[in-house]
Amino acid sequence: MSASSSRLDAGGIINRDETLKFQFDGKSYEGHPGDSLASALLANNVKIVGRGFKYHRPRGVMSAGQEEGGAILTVGTGARREPNVKATMQPLYSGLESFGQNAWPSVARDFGRVNDIGSRFLGAGFYYKTFFGVRGGTKDWMLFEKIIRKAAGMGTASREPDPAHYETAHTSCDVLVVGSGPAGLAAATQAAEAGLDVVVAEQDFTLGGDYLSQPDGAHRAVEAVAKVESLGVSVMLRTQVFGLYDGCVAGLIESVTDQETGMQVRQRMWIVRPRQIIIATGAIERPIAFGNNDRPGIMGSAGLRTYLNRYAIKPGQEAVIATTNDSGYATAADLKASGAQVTLLDARTHGPDAPEGVEVLRGRVPVKGEGWSELQGLQIGKLSESGEVSVEKSIGCDLAAVSGGWSPVVNLTSHRGVKPVWSEEMDCFLPGETKEPIKVCGSAAGLWDEEECRLSGAAAAAEAARDLGVNAPVIERPEPRRTNTPTMALYEVTLPGKKLKSFVDPQHDVTTGDIRLAHQEGFVSVEHMKRYTTLGMATDQGKVGNVIGIALMAAATGAPVSKTGTTTFRPPYSPISIGAIAGRSVKQHFRPNRLTPLDAWNKKHNAVMTQAGLWWRPWYYPITPTESVDDAYEREMKITRESVGLCDVSSLGKIMVQGPDAGEFLNRLYVNGFGKLAVGKARYGVMLRDDGIVYDDGTTWRLSENDFLMTTTTANAAGVMAKLEEYLQTRWPELKVSVASVSDQWAGIAVAGPKSRDVLEAVTTECDLSNEAFPFMGIREGVIAGKKVYLARISFSGERAYEVYVRSGDAEPVADALWGATEPLGGCLYGTEALGAMRVEKGHVAGSELDGRTTLEDLGLGKMASSKKAYIGKALATREGLHDADRRQLVGIIPTGDGKRLRAGALLMADTEQQGHGEGEITAVTYSVELGHWIGLGLIKGGVERWDGKTAISADPVRDGNTEVRIVSPHFLDPKGERMHG
Amino acid sequence: MIIIPCPFCGDRDHSEFSYGGDATVKYPALDASAEEWYNAVYLRKNPRGAHTEYWHHVGGCRSWLVVERDTLTHEISSAKYAHDGYGDSA
Ligand SMILES: [Zn+2]
């Protein structure tokens, strides 16, 4: 052992043949495969690895597990910088770069330590009080703000996008075992021997749990693991079960690699559906609150034992171990064996025999850590029978380890709403009973003896097997019980009349004084106390200080711990990255991309695409590389109105409605009649919701007596389909109607403009296109490019127009044929921008007016409602409020000044003074080439009847300011519809 | 995560379904009064415990199901078709 290394010459589960170089705060160090970042730092004698959150006191490694409150580091740089990494859980890898947090300029020399001296300002509720200006806080705030701002919070995440890949996976199994310690591996073995499909999830990067902390641990862990693997158990390493959910579903995060290459994923989220869950999550050692118990050099006794045996590290030469239970003796023995000088303080007067060479001081407790930056000694005290402490002496030491008893990890059952139960006898919370197929075993169930843990694991697995109807032996489950030398309930060491800075939650700098302050200020419920003091919040999730905090609150209120209760544990057990939750659903995979059958064709014709819901649709088709969207849509609408244009309308919802009662069904759905619609005709229909508000519109075509093709808006296609199914399956089971979505099966191309008939005549066979044979709203079959098509003479643009529907697979040849006839006539392709512009000119309503608030009357469609029949929404549409004279109704809008543009989203005001939400709003605008100025649609109180010809103010304070507009009829062009009928 | 035993598809995750509301509501005839419709559309019990509700297997067989679910525990005790089919006369 060299002077700069505390690594022992032999032992441990590390590969000494290989060296890994890594960095901490810019300095280079070496470790070995098998090391955690924390063990590698300890091996290099790096004592200070972080700074406290509020007081900036130096912090060292405090544990060897998930409960770490000191060695919380930032790992990685640039886009890969990850803050708040528990160094104890981070496997070392070559090239790892790590940084201390909460410190400037460095953890070793941190200016913020001034907070520690000024700490009377920073107690529980500090922020609340400061902001409310009590205690002259404002002045203090000014003084400390800069330092506190720099210090507040933990590490900082990268602001760059996370370059790593993640994914989500699903699996199921018979039994999921959480944890691979003695209990978990025994459970997995027993379950696998019963023939069950078993998965073991272990959060650590080495299997074996508590086995690994023992002197002969490596060997025993390897044996136990070999056994489960030979039985075909799936073992998942570095996989944390972060939550249990309804229906026996477990959420797991697997850390696949820290140095992924190519498309390799960094982390994988697993959604596991086991039939039985066995929780073998073990227990976490509790600290004892005493003065300066956060000094670097003071750590948990179990953690120290892990460093000794698993990592072959002796972090000090002269050590004091303070314990309230038997587990401190094992650590003392192992530490002594490593050659250190060891004094063991046992708070109890009776305990096991002293380990060889270890001086045991019984009835003695730690009072105060000594030394400014690193531990130099421990003041110890004598505990009287009545519980009072008197200072006895100081012992010089560079290492202290503390065991205040054990807390079973009850988080996962708590996720299921099962409250942990305080056991006075065991001095810990035990998991509550659940009726779900969840069994808890080992130390998680309050068993401290290794053999009992194994037995309880096997018993839980056998029980799980029998619950699944599989033969398994009956094994009696050991119950938690008090031994001859039980744990002493000691949470805090106080000195009468002396103030000690004793930390309950070092991660959040919560002291015993903060708990008492919270009580004094009335925050007596543990849930309130937690939020007021921040005890056990954020990345800690109640692992370290919870029990002490609750016990101190119980002492302050005079109630027993069992009546004081505990905070609710919620997923995740420890923090998980958001990237892992998002999985592959990022960037272009965030949501599905729906492409029309003409997508490639559109792009071949230079379409600029835009997303409408999930659909990608042509926005406009620039004829030069620099043509702007405004220039393009004006050109497209002009050409379409003057000659002819083609538009891909494939995204419209299309639903086949078939059966003897199809006509009756449509009659009930639409406000207007469909029962008597002639075969070969289409009709525009509007449907309402149950509450009388307009839901959707579209044309529905009668193809034969019992076959209708309904079209819906693009946006509501899925919703309308679900509604039709609901009505048929739940409300009107007597109707013999079948519905099928055919949106993807048919491509649709609108052929619009005065020359649309010429285009079709050039390419269509087997169809008479004359106005007499094929009038407005007619539906005909025909053939284009050898493909069967439906032709519908319907018009959204207001021009003479047709829609051609063709099987999706035949869309391209038909589009080619239509374009082949359109181009020579000077026609164009047009996109959604021109489509929307032309509908505004016609005053047709669309999504921005069908906003879930408008009635038929509001939209000027009141006359469509049939008085001869009942339909969905009719009854509630009669409600008084839906006929109020002040309702916002559809109007047309034009600017009063020449050349002024309008803005969709602007509010309409009665005069220049803005009043609340005004009288209405502009819903859609366009420049009208034919009219030579901007036009808009909008909704305004009282509608055309109240406003026709009057002026209003279009208020758009964040863009153009105020514009004077005139309210007119929404039908700007060809109000009688002569063009489309001709 | 709730598992819903669809009578057509078997046990499926609830993410394949969409919730369809209270299945005990009896919708009145289309020509019934606004008041009857008001009661059906707006008034709901909010039971703690057993609840009969619709779920639409929208990402599966498209059946509307009547599901008995405990609102407290999410335990599902039964799931059956909302529509029994037309029988032999169809
Ligand atoms: Zn189904």
- Closest-CA distance, B24 to chain A, in angstroms, reads 11
Instruction: Mention every residue, 6+ apart, whose C-beta is less than 8 A from residue A597.
Output: A650, A747, A808, A809, A811, A812
Query: CA B4, CA B80: separation in Å to the nearest integer?
Result: 10
Binary contact (B64, A725; C-beta < 8 A): yes
More confidently predicted of A631 and A134? A631
A-chain CB neighbours of B41 within 8 Å are 690-691, 876
DSSP string spanning B43-73?
-----SSEEEEEEE-TTTT--EEEEEEETTT
pLDDT digits over A869-885, tens only? 999 999 999 999 999 99
pLDDT digits over A837-868, tens only? 999 999 999 999 999 999 999 999 999 999 99
Asked if A47 contacts A284 with a C-beta cutoff of 8 angstroms, the reply is no
What is the architecture of the domain spanning A653-741? 2-Layer Sandwich (3.30)
> Which parts of A638-690 are beta strand (E)?
645-648, 653-658, 682-688
Query: CA A530, CA A284: separation in Å to the nearest integer?
Result: 19
Instruction: Mention every residue, 6+ apart, whose C-beta is less than 8 A from residue A693.
Output: A852, A853, A854, A855, A873, A882
Predicted confidence band of residue A312 (pLDDT cuts 50, 70, 90): very high
Number of domains in chain B: 1
DSSP string spanning A244-260?
EETTTEEEEEEE--SS-
Nearest to B34 among A249, A726, A875 (CB): A875
Place of tokens 């498209």: B62
Binary contact (A247, B27; C-beta < 8 A): no
A-chain CB neighbours of B3 within 8 Å are 247, 273
Q: Which two tokens stand for residue B37?
A: 């419709």
Terminal Cα distance for chain B, rounded: 38
Query: CA A433, CA A421: separation in Å to the nearest integer?
Result: 9
Percentage of chain A with pLDDT > 90?
Answer: 83
Asked if B78 contacts B4 with a C-beta cutoff of 8 angstroms, the reply is no
Closest chain A residue by Cα to residue B11: A247
The CA A652 to ligand 1 mean position distance, Å, reads 26
Reduced to 3 states (helix: H, G, I; strand: E, B; else coil), residue B21 is: strand
Query: CA A608, CA A564: separation in Å to the nearest integer?
Result: 64
Choose from B37, B56, B77 for mutation: most chain A CBs within 10 A.
Answer: B37
Tally the residues of chain B. 90
B-chain CB neighbours of A690 within 8 Å are 27, 37, 40-41
Report residue A595 CA to chain centroid gap: 28
Q: Which phi and psi (to 5°) does residue A789 adopt?
A: -135, 160
Q: A921: alpha, beta or left, given left = phi > 0 and alpha = psi -120 to 50?
A: beta
Q: Which residue from A716, A797, A788, A703 is spatially nearest to A750, judged by alpha carbons?
A: A797
pLDDT digits over A885-902, tens only? 999 999 999 999 888 999
Closest chain B residue by Cα to residue A729: B83
Question: What class, spelled out in words, does domain A884-981 have in CATH?
Answer: mainly beta
- Closest-CA distance, A250 to chain B, in angstroms, reads 9
Binary contact (A729, B38; C-beta < 8 A): no
How many CB atoms sit inside 10 A of residue A214's CB?
Answer: 21
Asked if A908 contacts A821 with a C-beta cutoff of 8 angstroms, the reply is no
CB pairs < 8 Å spanning A and B: 69
Place of tokens 């690699």: A257
Choose from B24, B52, B64 for mutation: most chain A CBs within 10 A.
Answer: B64
pLDDT of residue A104: 67
pLDDT of residue A2: 46
In this structure, of A228-232, A528-532, A815-819, the range with the lowest mean pLDDT score is: A528-532
Instruction: Mention every residue, 6+ apart, whose C-beta is less than 8 A from residue A829.
Output: A602, A605, A607, A618, A621, A636, A645, A646, A647, A819, A822
- Indicate whether A138 pLDDT > 80: no
Decide if A876 touches B, using CB distance below 8 A.
yes
Asked if A39 contacts A307 with a C-beta cutoff of 8 angstroms, the reply is yes
Q: What is the mean pLDDT of residues B21-48?
A: 96
Fold (CATH) for A498-559? Arc Repressor Mutant, subunit A (1.10.10)
Q: What CATH number belongs to A1-161?
A: 3.10.20.440
Binary contact (A726, B86; C-beta < 8 A): no
Binary contact (B81, A729; C-beta < 8 A): yes
Cα torsion A469, A470, A476, A477: sign? negative
Query: CA A396, CA A379: separation in Å to the nearest integer?
Result: 9
Q: Which residues of A295-328 are buried (b: 16+ CB within 10 A; e: fewer)?
A: bbbbbbbbbbbbbbbbbbbbbbeebbbbbbbbbb
Q: Which residue from A652, A667, A661 is spatially nearest to A738, judged by alpha carbons?
A: A661
More confidently predicted of A125 and B7? B7
Instruction: State the maximum Cα–Cα separation within chain A, in Å, rounded to a whole number.
Output: 113
- Indicate whether A131 pLDDT > 60: no
Predicted confidence band of residue A541 (pLDDT cuts 50, 70, 90): confident
Closest chain B residue by Cα to residue A247: B2
Reduced to 3 states (helix: H, G, I; strand: E, B; else coil), residue A285 is: strand
pLDDT of residue A147: 54
Question: What class, spelled out in words, does domain A287-402 have in CATH?
Answer: alpha beta
Closest chain A residue by Cα to residue B58: A722
Closest chain B residue by Cα to residue A728: B83
How many CB atoms sit inside 10 A of residue A510's CB?
Answer: 30
Asked if B54 contacts B20 with a C-beta cutoff of 8 angstroms, the reply is yes
A-chain CB neighbours of B28 within 8 Å are 875
In chain A, residues under CATH classification 1.10.10 are: 498-559
Decide if B31 touches A, using CB distance below 8 A.
yes
The CA A364 to ligand 1 mean position distance, Å, reads 67
pLDDT of residue A982: 83
- Indicate whether A914 pLDDT > 60: yes
B-chain CB neighbours of A246 within 8 Å are 1-2, 74
| Half-sphere exposure at residue B19, Cβ-oriented, CA atoms within 13 angstroms | 8
Query: CA A237, CA A395: separation in Å to the nearest integer?
Result: 42
Asked if A287 contacts A295 with a C-beta cutoff of 8 angstroms, the reply is no
Decide if B27 touches A, using CB distance below 8 A.
yes
Rg, chain B, Cα only: 15
A-chain CB neighbours of B77 within 8 Å are none
Report residue A648 CA to chain centroid gap: 37
Element (H, E) at A457: helix A450-467
Predicted confidence band of residue A157 (pLDDT cuts 50, 70, 90): confident
Asked if A49 contacts A37 with a C-beta cutoff of 8 angstroms, the reply is no
pTM confidence score:
0.87
Asked if A468 contacts A196 with a C-beta cutoff of 8 angstroms, the reply is yes
- Closest-CA distance, A414 to chain B, in angstroms, reads 14
- Indicate whether B89 pLDDT > 50: no
Reduced to 3 states (helix: H, G, I; strand: E, B; else coil), residue A636 is: helix
Nearest to A729 among B2, B14, B83 (CB): B83
Q: What is the mean pLDDT of residues A481-505?
A: 93
- Structure ipTM over 0.95, yes or no: yes
Q: What is the mean pLDDT of residues A413-418?
A: 94
| Half-sphere exposure at residue A5, Cβ-oriented, CA atoms within 13 angstroms | 12
Closest chain B residue by Cα to residue A726: B64
- Which amino acid would we find at residue A881? G
Place of tokens 């869309």: A811
Query: CA A748, CA A766: separation in Å to the nearest integer?
Result: 19
Binary contact (B36, A875; C-beta < 8 A): yes
Torsion of CA A466, A468, A470, A471, to 10 degrees: 0
Nearest to B33 among A690, A729, A875 (CB): A875
Rg, chain A, Cα only: 38
Decide if A734 touches B, using CB distance below 8 A.
no
More confidently predicted of A915 and A506? A506
Predicted confidence band of residue A108 (pLDDT cuts 50, 70, 90): confident
Q: What is the mean pLDDT of residues A734-743?
A: 97
Decide if A872 touches B, using CB distance below 8 A.
yes
Fold (CATH) for A599-651+745-838? Gyrase A; domain 2 (3.30.1360)
Domain that holds residue B36: 3-86
Query: CA A833, CA A836: separation in Å to the nearest integer?
Result: 5
Query: Residue A71 burial (CB < 10 Å; 0-12/13-18/19+)?
Result: buried
Q: Which residue from A722, A724, A723 is spatially nearest to A665, judged by alpha carbons?
A: A724
Q: Which residue from A267, A212, A265, A210 is spatially nearest to A239, judged by alpha carbons?
A: A267
In chain A, residues under CATH classification 3.50.50.60 are: 164-286+405-485+577-590, 287-402
- Indicate whether A148 pLDDT > 80: no
pLDDT of residue A110: 72
The CA A850 to ligand 1 mean position distance, Å, reads 32
pLDDT of residue A362: 97
Binary contact (A875, B30; C-beta < 8 A): yes
Q: Which phi and psi (to 5°) does residue A688 adopt?
A: -105, 170
CATH 3.50.50.60 fits A164-286+405-485+577-590, yes or no: yes
Asked if A441 contacts A456 with a C-beta cutoff of 8 angstroms, the reply is yes
Choose from B38, B41, B66 for mutation: most chain A CBs within 10 A.
Answer: B41
Binary contact (A878, B2; C-beta < 8 A): no
pLDDT digits over A916-964, tens only? 889 999 999 999 999 999 999 999 999 999 999 999 999 998 888 899 9
Decide if A728 touches B, using CB distance below 8 A.
yes
pLDDT digits over A612-626, tens only? 889 999 999 999 999
Query: CA B84, CA B90: separation in Å to the nearest integer?
Result: 12
Q: What is the DSSP letter of A930?
A: T
| Half-sphere exposure at residue A853, Cβ-oriented, CA atoms within 13 angstroms | 10
- Indicate whether A658 pLDDT > 90: yes
